[in-house]
Structure formats: C-alpha cells, structure tokens
Amino acid sequence: MIMTPGLRKLALTAHVIASVGWLGAVAAFLALAAAGLTSQDEQLVRAVYQAMKLTGSCVIVPLSFAPLLTGLIQSLGTSWGLFQHYWVLIKLLIAVFATVLLLIHMQPISHVAGVAAETTLSSGDLRGLRVQLIFDAGAALLVLLVATTLSVCKPKGLTRYGWRKQRQQQLVSRGSPPIPTDR
C-alpha cells in the first residue's frame, strides 16, 4: 500500500506537527514542573499544578497518540515499511514506551494538582512527587529528542525482514523468482 505523493505530504505534515507539538508541550510541562517545585509564591504554585494537569490531559496525552497514529500511516503507506528499517522500528518502540509511561504518570500529576487546589503547598509538601514530575518530564524530553534525531538522520540499517523484503522486490523487478520467505 503506497500512498500518492499528495497524500504522503499530507500525512508527513500531520506527523511533523504532532511530533513537534508533543516535544514542545513536554518542554513547557518541564518548565512548569520546575516552577512548581522552586517557587515560593503560593498562588503561582497552585496555578502551576492546575496548568500542568490541564496541559497533561488536554494537550500532552492527545499529542502522544497523534505521532504514533500518523507514524504508523507514514510507515505503512510508504516504501519505508514499519519493520524494515531499524530507525523506524526504534521510533515505534519509543513512541509506544513514552505513551504508556505518560498515561501511567498522569495519576501523580492529578494528585499533586488536587492537593494544590485544596491546600497551600509548602516547599516540603509532596516533594518526592514534585521532583518525580521534573525527572519524568526531563526523561520524556530526552527520549523525544532522540526520536527527532533518528527521524532527521535516518541511520542506515535494514532488519533481516527488511533485507529479505527488499531483496525479493529487487529479484521480482529483474524477472527472477523470489527467494523463499521462511529462510
């Protein structure tokens, strides 16, 4: 299933927008998490954790699914394939891993936001969770930067399946019989 050039450009544009949007939203989340931990202003801390909850559930979670979906469309609709090149496969693993971790970590965000809304958080309250939010956002940012670098550099490397598939296509285009797939 190969997409037409127009459709391919549309899918690529959607994928880039979703991926860069996800990266930017996580960077903003990291800044908010740092402000929430270090600020002495009670009103600011309260507002920061509400903003983090809102950003997490309304922006970051939807944006985490969008690159996964558009990436699947891109890989399956072009000659790159999903399992043929190591960089595509690694990006898929990164997207799945990051999305699962994000969904797991939405609970601590909601908890801190809930406590911040009801009480005044001092610098020592829920310190472990608040540090964790910074750590997780930093780790997510690092992982997304790696995924972006892979997309730009596209390091060479075919999987065994990819090599077999491309070899078959080469032989078919030359008129030779295809090699068996169960090698």
Partner 1 sequence: MTSQPREPEPPDDSADYSGTPRWVYAFAAVAIVLILLFVILHLTGRGFRGHGP
Alpha carbons 18 and 66: distance in angstroms, whole number: 6
Number of H helices, E strands in the chain: 7, 0
Residues 68-107 binding partner 1 (CB under 8 A) are 71, 74, 78-80, 84-86, 90-91, 107
Residue 171 found at the interface with partner 1 (CB under 8 A) = no
16 versus 43: smaller Cβ distance to partner 1: 16
Name the minimum Å distance from CB 41 to partner 1: 22
Q: How far is CA 150 from the centre of its chain?
A: 13
Helix, strand, or coil (residue 81): coil
CA–CA distance, 104 with 136 (Å, rounded to integer): 11
> Encoding tokens for residue 109?
């965000």
Among 127, 172, 176, 178, binds partner 1 (CB under 8 A): 127
CB distance 30 to 137 below 8 Å: yes
Q: With binding defined as CB under 8 A, does residue 50 bind partner 1?
A: no
Binding positions for partner 1, rule: CB under 8 A: 8, 12, 15-16, 19-20, 67, 71, 74, 78-80, 84-86, 90-91, 107-108, 111, 126-129, 131-132, 135, 139, 147-148, 150-152, 154-160, 163-164, 166-167, 170
